[in-house]
Amino acid sequence: TLETLYRKHFLNRKITVISILIGVALSQYLLHLPISYLVKPWFWHRPDSVTSINAVITKIPKEASVVTQNNIVPHISHREEIYMLWPTKQDFSDNSPCGKKTCDWFRWDGNPQYLLVDLSGEWNILHLAANREDFMRGIENLEKAGNIKLEYSVGSSRLYRIIHHPSVHARI
């Protein structure tokens, strides 16, 4: 054991501790474990899309309820009503916004007044709950169907006023 090696002076405690710390730090960095993010420059850089998200948030009335994507929720967590945006598919018998029977679409609970999204390429399925292409088509379809109307945009961030809940199809 280590204790036996210490008593026989084959191993120095200080060298052992330093070796273990260097080994842990090296494995953190090489294996890209969470603590290693602290020494990576990209971790400390604020993406442009976050700046545009924050700019658009200032345009939302203070008491308004909002539906948004997963990664924006923390930015508006001080609000009373926040809803998650869930991608889905929607069948249309007529007036399909995508020109097909089934379109990329969204659903959410409640009756929020605004939809806040960021269409930046920086986000992936973990942030959007859908692949980026389906997400973009879903937003476009809601807009074409008259469910949402663009109120304000900065960079890749968009604030829409919700005209009709997505379960109610507006006539084009």
pLDDT value at residue 147: 93
Rounded mean pLDDT of the chain?
A: 85
Residue 41 confidence (pLDDT) above 60: yes
Record the pTM. 0.73
Which is more confidently placed, 15 or 87? 87
pLDDT tens figures, 124-133:
666 667 788 8
DSSP letter string over 139-159?
A: HHHHHHTTSEEEEEEETTEEE
pLDDT value at residue 1: 60
Q: In the block, which residue shows the tokens 């929720």?
A: 73
pLDDT value at residue 8: 65
Longest dimension (CA), the chain: 87
pLDDT value at residue 125: 64
**Separation between Cα atoms, residue 150 and residue 109, nearest integer Å:** 21
37-51, 52-66, 151-165: least confident range? 37-51
pLDDT tens figures, 71-113:
899 999 999 999 999 999 999 888 889 999 999 999 999 999 9
Residue 169 confidence (pLDDT) above 60: no
Q: Is 90 exposed, middle or buried (0-12, 13-18, 19+ CB in 10 A)?
A: buried
